[in-house]
Structure 1
Amino acid sequence: MSDVLVFGASGNSGLLLALAAREAGLDVVALARPRRGDALKAAGVAVVTGDAFNPEDCEQALEVARPRQVVSLLGGKSADGRRVDETGNVNVIAACEAAGVEHALLVTSFGCGELYPLLSVQAQAMLGEAIRAKTRAEARWRAGPLTTTLLRPGGLSNSAGCGRWQLHDGADGSGAPLPRADLALAILALLADPAQHGRTLCVSGTPADAG
């Protein structure tokens, strides 16, 4: 049995999460498409080759990993226009339900669900398609029987992490930009705190980091 199975681990934030989890001593498994798992393997992550667009690959990853918890950071669009934000995440949660996972965490985006009106007109025009796909994925995860946590980051940066972040409800906006390395640490902290499981939260940089 592994500690955590990560979907979307070959992308920027997902890779940093997998690396941080390994550094914390966790047994980590990740689903990665062919030729996308080298950095994960080098860090000691067990890689299951597959594609989240395929339900069978998601089920196989669960079968191999037998994880206590699952995290999905899936996002983006395929060459044929399908958004993994929705299709892949629906496949992941269905596989989690079938496997009886204890807890699953979905990383979406500030602006999902009831927060959409808080996005600027420009952000709605630029991100609307992705936000709507992520919102539908959130709804599917909420509708299931498993304990699921929804995490909505605001702006993310590739700056060096500082080990600080802020959890909030998003009512006052998206907050300060958050380094992806700190997003990874925030996710690990949420996984380790059962009191936070099942909540819908936004995460941003702390005010001290904004300037």
Structure 2
Amino acid sequence: MRVLIAGANGKIGQHLVRQMAGSQHSARAMVRNPEQAKTMEELGAAETVVADLEQDCSHALKDCDAVVFTAGSGPHTGPDKTIDVDQNGAIRLIDAAEAAGVKRFLMVSSMRADAPGKAPEKLHHYLRAKQKADEHLRASSLDFTLVRPGPLTNDPGTGRVELRPRLDRTGSIPREDVAAVLLATLDADNTVHQTFDLLSGDDGIAESLVSL
């Protein structure tokens, strides 16, 4: 599949571009700054497209088979930027994918996105934005999967995870492992129309996805 990676220059996105270069899929890295194209090429992206989630980015979807949305303003930005990117940017790309006939859409969301009020107050605006984007994706006609990792780290990936429709425990997960789960999810037909939480654990990624 030709896969558009939105947020390719982010930390998860860069891991995904690199991992996808060694797979049967090809990455179209979506970046806001043309100067980032060289980094994408070095990571192994098949191609790079310049597009801004805060504007019309439908051109980025041309001839793509799938989208992985890894973009985000981060939980420490102000509410306005979070709404612009994590909520409205995601919704804009979902609608563009529907219009372009791109069926497969993977969304990096967040644990607790279905219950923002139960999270620490400083995360409320971030999780509310994620919740609205997730709801829009569920209501679309796309073959979606919502991947909801817990707190992210920059530790090296281990390839060992725990993923379930809901995880009632605390923990964290390396961004490198999140990228590996996203790549494996593209080929896991049983994950279509599924939502799952994701943390580091004891199981391999492939076996964890099969058990959903």
Give the TM-score band, short-chain normalised: 0.7 to 0.9
Superposition deviation, residue 101 in structure 1: 1.2
Quick one: distance in 2 between partners of 1:138 and 1:98?
18
Quick one: distance in 1 between partners of 2:79 and 2:126?
15
Q: Which amino acid aligns with 1:18?
A: V
Q: Which residue of 2 aligns with 1:180?
A: 175
Please state whether the residue corresponding to 2:36 is helix, strand or coil: coil
- Normalising by structure 1, what TM-score? 0.86
- Normalising by structure 2, what TM-score? 0.86
Q: Which amino acid aligns with 1:134?
A: K
- Identify which of 59, 66, 70 aligns with 2:67: 70
Unaligned runs of 5+ in 1: none
Unaligned runs of 5+ in 2: 204-212
Aligned length: 197
Please state whether the residue corresponding to 1:18 is helix, strand or coil: helix
Please state whether the residue corresponding to 2:16 is helix, strand or coil: helix
Q: Which residue of 1 aligns with 2:107?
A: 106
Quick one: distance in 2 between partners of 1:169 and 1:80?
28
Alignment of 1:89-128 (within 5 A): 89-113=90-114, 115-116=115-116, 118-119=118-119, 124-128=120-124
- Identify which of 121, 134, 155 aligns with 2:151: 155
Please state whether the residue corresponding to 2:163 is helix, strand or coil: strand
Q: Which residue of 2 aligns with 1:12?
A: 11
Q: CA RMSD in A?
A: 2.0
> Is the 2:17–2:44 Cα contact (8 Å) retained in structure 1?
no
Q: Percent identity?
A: 30
Superposition deviation, residue 68 in structure 1: 1.6
> Is the 2:117–2:124 Cα contact (8 Å) retained in structure 1?
no
Q: Which amino acid aligns with 1:93?
A: I
Superposition deviation, residue 118 in structure 1: 4.9
Quick one: distance in 2 between partners of 1:133 and 1:116?
9
> Is the 2:79–2:125 Cα contact (8 Å) retained in structure 1?
no
> Is the 1:166–1:205 Cα contact (8 Å) retained in structure 2?
yes
Superposition deviation, residue 206 in structure 1: 0.4
Superposition deviation, residue 24 in structure 1: 2.0
Q: Which amino acid aligns with 1:89?
A: A
Q: Which residue of 2 aligns with 1:134?
A: 130
Please state whether the residue corresponding to 1:16 is helix, strand or coil: helix
Q: 1:126 to 1:68 in 2, by over 3 A?
A: same
Q: Which residue of 1 aligns with 2:187?
A: 192
Superposition deviation, residue 195 in structure 1: 0.9
Quick one: distance in 2 between partners of 1:98 and 1:207?
40
